Amino acid sequence: MYEPKRPPRLYSKTPPLPAMRYGIYFKDTFIDVDDPTIDPLHIHESLEIFYNVRDEVSFLVNGTVYPVKAGQVLISRPGDVHVCIFPESKSYLYGCLWIDTELSSPLFSFLTENDFSPLITPEENSPILDLLEELDRIKDDESLGTRALTLILSILSELSRGHRESRRTAPLPESLTAIIRYIDTHCTEIRSVGELVEKFFISPSTLNRHFRTYLHTAPREYIEAKRLSHALALLKNGASVTKAAEEAGFPDCSHFIMLFKKKFGKTPLRYKKDLL
């Protein structure tokens, strides 16, 4: 559920994978929510496919909470802000697949539908777990690029046929749910966390405690993540670095560049050049 502070390594294969890099790992590990080497607040340039092998966990994706049971899949599209919430310190087993490619391809049409839900239950007897495990086994073998592509296409095909789940949990305090929704809608306009305190008649200590307890992050960090997500979309659509920073709500462009590099491992300018 929790991910390294740096983006996962994407495997750059020889043809036929010149435009579809991927990264994958399976983890059966003890998760400590206070571990400083992990990042509970996720934004990716890549598509993320999270397969829950064991137990249940919930995710906040773009302001909505989804419970992910064993055998279910949660998809986070490029730029989606997603947070693993309500975990206990325990052992989890899950697999993550990242795909770095253009979502405009017909392969990903099911991800751009108006009624898209990130929570998917694969069809009964779906081989998704077997496909992911095989992809994990061959990821370091450069000679198996064709097989890797076949596995990825099979996984996408299985997901496109799966049942879209609209179920959501409601374990967040009402006040926190309202604040999250407000941030999601007004992140580019909020100038300080103090504005939230005044608008929602909540004390700074309670606000911070709610964010730390349920989202394992701070209000300021959540606002910045939503702004970074917005800036990422602006850069993809051709905006300059300065324009993206301004329209995403960052008053200081140099601060925006620093945050962007910290989250994505490259500067906004480097990101734009890599898109070419």
Q: Whole-angstrom Cα distance, residue 23 to residue 139?
A: 8
How far from 69 is each of 29, 72, 94, 119, 239, CA to CA, in Å? Answer: 17, 6, 11, 10, 39
Instruction: Print the domain residue range for 59.
Output: 3-165
Tell which of 143, 165, 187 closes a domain. Answer: 165
- Least confident residue range of 41-50, 70-79, 104-113, 164-173: 164-173
Query: Following DSSP, what letter does each residue of 147-168 receive, concatenated?
Result: HHHHHHHHHHHHHHHSEEE---
pLDDT of residue 86: 56
At residue 234, what are phi and psi to the nearest 5 degrees? Answer: -65, -45
pLDDT digits (tens, 9 = 90+) for 116-174: 889 999 999 999 999 999 998 988 887 888 888 899 999 999 999 999 887 666 567 88
What is the domain-level CATH number for residue 193? 1.10.10.60
Kindly state whether residues 189 and 243 are assigned to the same domain. Answer: yes
pLDDT of residue 18: 45
Task: Band the pLDDT of 29: cuts 50, 70, 90.
Answer: low
pLDDT score of 82 more than 60: yes
Kindly state whether residues 155 and 115 are assigned to the same domain. Answer: yes
Structural domain total, the chain: 2
Tell which of 146, 165, 184 closes a domain. Answer: 165
> Residue 34 corresponds to which tokens in the numbers above?
């206070």
Closest CA to 251 of 263, 242, 262: 242
pLDDT of residue 12: 47
Kindly state whether residues 49 and 103 are assigned to the same domain. Answer: yes
pLDDT digits (tens, 9 = 90+) for 195-239: 999 999 999 999 999 998 888 889 999 999 999 999 999 998 999
> Residue 223 corresponds to which tokens in the numbers above?
């606002």
3-state SS, residue 24: strand
Q: Enumerate residues 6+ apart whose C-beta is below 8 A from 253.
A: 241, 242, 245, 246
pLDDT score of 39 more than 80: no
Helix (H) or strand (E) holding 246: helix 241-247
Tell which of 144, 165, 186 closes a domain. Answer: 165
pLDDT of residue 187: 94
Kindly state whether residues 125 and 186 are assigned to the same domain. Answer: no
pLDDT digits (tens, 9 = 90+) for 10-20: 554 444 444 56
Kindly state whether residues 161 and 204 are assigned to the same domain. Answer: no
pLDDT digits (tens, 9 = 90+) for 85-118: 755 556 678 888 988 877 777 778 888 877 788 9
> Residue 13 corresponds to which tokens in the numbers above?
């294969």
Structure pTM? 0.82
Kindly state whether residues 25 and 132 are assigned to the same domain. Answer: yes
What is the domain-level CATH number for residue 67? 2.60.120.280
